[in-house]
Structure 1
């Protein structure tokens, strides 16, 4: 593996002296790989958490995904025309340049031109029709329609600077040349797939980070990550292997932080693909002249074959919440009293026979094996459940970097995928994963099965312009119900966000799963 690239700040840190630096050092072991340091390359949780260490957003979120001021100290609705944001005074980039409203305008103009392998940031800024820089500290976003969620969307958009980043490529960020922001940490070095080293931004506008330097080690193997914590090689890990939880809870050397996350794990069923569908065949292996997944009875059968509570109890070892919808109970836009679908193999077999597949068929179910907690084990379990109703299932689990490209190219008819509803409501998932694809408008950026439902699109569009919270929530619930009835994707569970750390540290578990080194604190003694 190539050694990490060192930037000038790394030399300064080395000169500080070993003892003082080590006393203020934090090493984090994280399970999800980072695909780029370009903050607009791919709307992926692991990318975003690194971006938000180096860069900042106009609006921030707390551990419960509630919005609070960030680079913007305040914002107000301009009736139905849009929103006005007022920036804090005295914010500077890491190189000392001032951050102004013009930099916000530049950032929004840059986003549509950046393409990555998955969800685009374009969907977050699509309501904006025009930007007006009123003064160095005041900017207005005009929208074609009322946009009540725009401040929430702004909590997901990292801000850049025109003078610093005009013409900067994704490669420039990955090399470190352009990785200069306003965030609580400066970039020291980046070794792709291995580690990122940060140093505290001493001129940060907000509360200073408690660590002089942070090493962010990417350890995708669950066993290796837990072993690194046990050996003292890292101070805190995320995505704690469920098999190690009981042992860590009982060990006084460690502390656990855990909460139900906003991450929905689901299966996609490629019902719109015309035959021949790759990796889909008759029970004898012969080609099929129609796509079984296009039949709603088949999709219902596949859902009924899955014992979601068993997945949670046995595979996730209790570290998840079985669910038939995308949001946790009690959250905004969650459907009240929505039951977890019960497994019913007999009815599933009957539905398959009614659909013309009494002997079932053959299907491949694909997933990552290094991105989500127990991802490979989950698809193995689902594959066994499907096979029991006659749908002979081949499971393929690969590294996320390989798998996500295959999923985007629709190379398998069924995939285990996920969406983290970090905005605290369901609209971004519906827009990105299930809305009819319209790249120009930022619709369907992660719609990998080309799903399209005019009624869902209508309800979602109405919700996005509804200023009354109660009416907007009702519309989002209706839109959710439409896609759940269609069973184009099958929600399985909401993954728990779990961290383990040495006993001398504390961390408030975040429902958005974000690793935030600035919020890891030493326990007062």
Structure 2
């Protein structure tokens, strides 16, 4: 029998259909998950991608863990103590843990992981800047390590629960090439690697030696299905058991809800969407033009008509679940005449052309982009939509500064702290900030990181949100709900707001 329950997410009450059942244990089985993106590498230091975490959370462990309830709990570290006024954290490590290849987990593995992350190898990837508060990891004994911090980091325990902080096996990593580890991951999680067919699938199996609750599934497969219609069709046909966000377009929600074998699980997420600006070239180098383009677009109507109300308009590039969110901050209003006046002031002639770069597999955003182009035409701007293959856009077009005037950006803000978003988006030299450099903004971003005064840090984060909005560094669009399509044969599935699915408790009939 399907449980329908109410959850509270931030200040928003929402109806959540889950497949949390009270039922007897089922025989081992296989779960197939449709993911819209192949990350291309399974090395924890190589990616910021939510779709990496959707799968790799089952392969790797961090010292801490954060589940769907957003609470930080022990994982590979049994406990920790914050010492020296926040400048040192001592972790007591879980004993008797082994990696999938048989290597022991111990203090050496922790030190190796962070020396690698903060060294030359980590410098090649996007994760290093999240952990630079760590000056060194000191081994106290086989099961104890001290993290020495150059400055206190109020979000570090959360960061240690994901992405670059996942603990890797020293011997396995050093004896193989980086390219080999990218394609053949080894961790300590509830599922171990079996095979990886790039752009097709990742296959895992239950790890009998897992230190925690053993997986109730024998096999777990991720299929990389970029086309939403294909993913939903496979779900309906029973060849896929779970379709994860952001695959399902709002237009397909009625299809899933009408299928007696399926359930739609919707949960408020930290994910926000925007069209970010090329602030270096063309007409969008002018702040007045950027503001005019925001004012030209009726985002409330887009949310209502295209997204079916499954989202909320945002004023800054963060959701209400984010620490640093200011509920009093209002988005620029929809004002066609005001937009025209700003464009005239900036000397922009009617017929000025811009390009909007989007992810080619995102059908919902494709509709949003078409609507935005129509709105811009009403103020004399001709917008052309340029779709790109997802990995090309994220790994080449954006980081290399090859975009048009505007480009689609989605961000999960998985730490639920605005720093994780703002530093990556706005600090000079960051991967996701190929165009802009602002010394005042850099100073603000750097000033809040070492603060232990929560109220003062929140004040600065709110100031950053207002400052970036005043400069109109992006066209903030909406905070979307995470939509999961689930076959009713799947039991004990808990939809994570941040897509980081730990599936060892899941069963299938």
What TM-score do the two structures reach when normalised by structure 2?
A: 0.88
Match of 1:374 in 2: 364
Q: CA deviation at 1:51?
A: 2.4
Q: Map residues 94-493 of structure 1 onto 2, 5 A cutoff.
A: 94-111=100-117, 112-114=119-121, 120-156=126-162, 157-166=165-174, 168-176=176-184, 179-238=185-244, 239-273=247-281, 291-329=282-320, 331-359=322-350, 361-370=352-361, 372=362, 374-404=364-394, 405-411=396-402, 412-437=404-429, 444-449=430-435, 451-493=436-478
Question: Which stretch has the larger CA shift, 226-235 or 251-260?
Answer: 251-260
Q: Is the 8 A contact 1:352 1:360 kept in 2?
A: no
Contact 1:266–1:493 (CA<8 Å) still a contact in 2?
yes
Report deviation, 1:37. 1.8
Q: What do the CA deviations read for 1:189-238 (whole angstroms, capped 9, x no partner)?
A: 11010111110011111111221111111111000000001111111111
CA positional deviation for 1:258 = 1.0
How far does residue 345 in structure 1 lie from its aligned partner after superposition?
1.3
**1:104 positional shift:** 1.1
Q: Structure 1 residues 324-333 or 387-396, which shifts more?
A: 324-333
Which of 24, 31, 51 pairs up with 1:26?
Answer: 31
SS at match of 1:436: coil
Specify the SS of the correspondent of 2:451.
Answer: coil
Give aligned pairs, total: 476
Q: Determine the C-alpha separation between the residues in 1 that align with 2:214 and 2:139.
A: 29
Aligned pairs for 1:88-99 within 5 A: 88-99=94-105
1:54 and 1:183 mapped to 2: Cα distance?
A: 4
Instruction: Label 1:26 to 1:116 Cα distance change in 2 as closer, same or farther (>3 A).
Output: farther
> Judging changes above 3 Å, is the alpha-carbon distance between structure 1 residues 89 and 419 closer, same or farther for their aligned structure 2 residues?
same
How far residue 522 of structure 1 moved from its aligned partner, in angstroms, is 4.7
| 1:148-189 alpha-carbon deviations (Å, 9 max, x no partner) | 22112211221112122125333212442xx22111101111
Distance 1:377 1:170, change over 3 A: farther
Q: Residues 271 and 399 from structure 1, CA distance in 2 versus in 1: closer, same or farther, beyond 3 angstroms? A: same
Structure scoring higher RCO (CA < 8 A, sep ≥ 6) equals 2
Q: Distance in 1 between matches of 2:474 and 2:69?
A: 26
User: What is the rounded CA distance, in whole Å, between the counterparts of 2:454 and 2:78 in structure 1?
Assistant: 23
Q: Secondary structure at the match of 2:486?
A: strand
Structure 1 unpaired stretches of 5+: 1-20, 274-290, 438-443
Q: CA RMSD in A?
A: 2.2
Unpaired segments of 5 or more residues in structure 2?
A: 1-25
CA deviations on 1:2-41 (whole Å, 9 max, x unpaired) are xxxxxxxxxxxxxxxxxxx985111111222221122222
Structure 2 CA distance for aligned equivalents of residues 295 and 263 of structure 1? 28
Return structure 1 stretches of 4+ with deviation > 4 angstroms: none
Aligned equivalents of 2:502, 2:350: Cα separation in 1: 51
CA distances 1:436-484 after superposition (whole Å, capped 9, x unpaired):
22xxxxxx232122x2223322222222111122222112111121111
Tell me the equivalent position of 1:496: 481
**Structure 2 counterparts to residues 60-79 of structure 1, below 5 A:** 60-78=65-83, 79=85
Q: C-alpha displacement at 1:515, in angstroms?
A: 3.6
Distance 1:236 1:116 in 2: 35
Counterpart Cα distance in 1 of 2:300 and 2:123: 35
**Alpha-carbon distance change, 115 to 310 in structure 1, aligned in 2, over 3 angstroms:** farther
Q: Say which is worse superposed, 220-229 or 128-137, in terms of deviation.
A: 128-137
Q: Which whole-Å deviations, capped at 9, do the CAs of 1:302-361 have from their partners, x for residues lacking one?
A: 111122122222222222222122332254211123334332111101110011114251
User: TM-score by structure 1 length?
Assistant: 0.86
Instruction: Give the match for residue 278 of structure 1.
Output: none
Contact 1:433-1:448 within 8 A present in 2 as well: no
Instruction: Provide the C-alpha distance between the structure 2 equivalents of 1:398 and 1:22, rounded to a whole number of angstroms.
Output: 43
